[in-house]
């Protein structure tokens, strides 16, 4: 396919590279980052989008997505797929989809899970909102860039799935870190806690696949001084998006709200910026019960 790829940062670059390696013709644009191997660099988002069968965006937030959409939608070929892989607010995703549909395009919102490692290895999971027809057109690209793509329903539902998933992830990480810190105070060996929880009712992806305690469980960022696999500030972004969405639809999410508050304190006032989101464990280790 002829593909335009806009946003070649830590996630976008390896995704675009994998598409080029698979034999697709990829034109790329980023305001700062260089083009990866196999991708033809062009001078603007519009130039990347012109003539493409599929335009993929991987952008920081909803405002930038709206700006880029305003630039590329007028130059895209009718019937082309506008595949946004950014993680943004649901309303921005749906508004951009409405604009794309009005211009005769096929929009998909398809945020990803799997981090930079998944982007490099081509093992991302895509949560996709949009039409079944557009999903089928993009399916071969999902198979190159990832290991799984789930069609979640109409436009915006990909973003909805992503923020619900990451709200669970953030809450679960906090609870797991609290449990390790409590075990320390109670004199319970961390390995023993892991041996119990990882095979009993406390089982979770966080405990079993991303253990926040160094030297316990499978290798994780905790074993590399909490250098980020998924940065705490990105978790904060997703939790804020979940709470923005909850407010918009009047959903009661007290655990999600509290998780957002804790990550906000960690990132903005407690030195968590630039650390993995599992670095909540040393944060709880150093704290005592209030009141």
What pLDDT is attached to residue 288?
80
Provide, rounded to the nearest whole percent, the portion of the chain with pLDDT above 70.
Answer: 99
Q: What is the pLDDT of residues 67-123, one digit of tens each?
A: 999 999 999 999 999 999 999 999 999 999 999 999 999 999 999 998 888 999 999
Pick the CATH number of 2-153 from 3.50.50.60, 3.30.720.210, 3.40.50.720, 3.40.1000.10: 3.40.50.720
- What does the block give as tokens for 63? 């405002």
- Comparing CA positions, the residue from 165, 22, 31, 155 lying closest to residue 83 is 155
What pLDDT is attached to residue 153?
97
**Residue 85 buriedness (CB in 10 A; 0-12 / 13-18 / 19+):** buried
What pLDDT is attached to residue 260?
98
* CB-based contacts of 7, cutoff 8 Å, min separation 6: 30, 57, 58, 59, 86
Q: What is the pLDDT of residues 115-149, one digit of tens each?
A: 888 999 999 999 999 999 999 999 999 999 999 99
The chain-wide mean pLDDT, for the chain, equals 96
Calculate mean pLDDT across residues 179-200: 98
What pLDDT is attached to residue 289?
73
In the chain, residues under CATH classification 1.10.1040.10 are 160-286
What pLDDT is attached to residue 52?
98
What pLDDT is attached to residue 46?
98
The catalytic position among 27, 50, 148, 162 is 162
Q: What is the pLDDT of residues 32-75, one digit of tens each?
A: 999 999 999 999 999 999 999 999 999 999 999 999 999 999 99
Pick the CATH number of 160-286 from 1.10.1040.10, 2.30.40.10, 2.130.10.10, 1.10.3720.10: 1.10.1040.10
Residue 202 pLDDT more than 70? yes
2 an active-site residue?
A: no
């Amino acid at each position: 396919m002829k593909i335009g790829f806009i946003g070649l940062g830590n996630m976008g670059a390896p995704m675009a590279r994998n598409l080029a390696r698979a034999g697709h013709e990829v034109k790329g644009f980023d305001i700062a980052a260089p083009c990866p191997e196999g991708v033809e660099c062009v001078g603007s988002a519009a130039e990347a989008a012109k003539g493409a069968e599929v335009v993929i965006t991987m952008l920081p937030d909803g405002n930038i997505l709206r700006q880029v959409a305003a630039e590329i939608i007028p130059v895209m070929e009718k019937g082309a797929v506008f595949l946004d892989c950014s993680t943004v607010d649901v309303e921005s995703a749906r508004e951009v989809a409405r604009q794309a549909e009005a211009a005769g395009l096929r929009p998909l919102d398809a945020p990803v899970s799997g981090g930079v490692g998944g982007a490099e290895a081509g093992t991302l999971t895509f949560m996709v909102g949009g039409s079944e027809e557009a999903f089928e057109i993009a399916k071969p690209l999902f198979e190159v860039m990832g290991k799984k793509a789930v069609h979640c329903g109409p436009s915006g539902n990909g973003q909805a799935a992503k923020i619900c998933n990451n709200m669970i992830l953030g809450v679960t990480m906090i609870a797991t870190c609290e449990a390790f810190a409590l075990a320390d105070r109670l004199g319970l060996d961390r390995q023993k806690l892991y041996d119990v929880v990882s095979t009993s009712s406390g089982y979770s992806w966080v405990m079993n696949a991303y253990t926040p305690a160094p030297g316990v469980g499978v290798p994780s960022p905790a074993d590399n001084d909490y250098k980020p696999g998924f940065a705490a500030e990105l978790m904060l972004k997703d939790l804020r998006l979940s709470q923005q969405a909850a407010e918009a639809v009047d959903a009661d999410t007290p655990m999600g709200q509290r998780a957002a508050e804790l990550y906000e304190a960690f990132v903005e006032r407690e030195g968590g910026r630039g650390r993995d989101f599992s670095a909540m464990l040393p944060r709880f280790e150093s704290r005592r019960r209030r009141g």
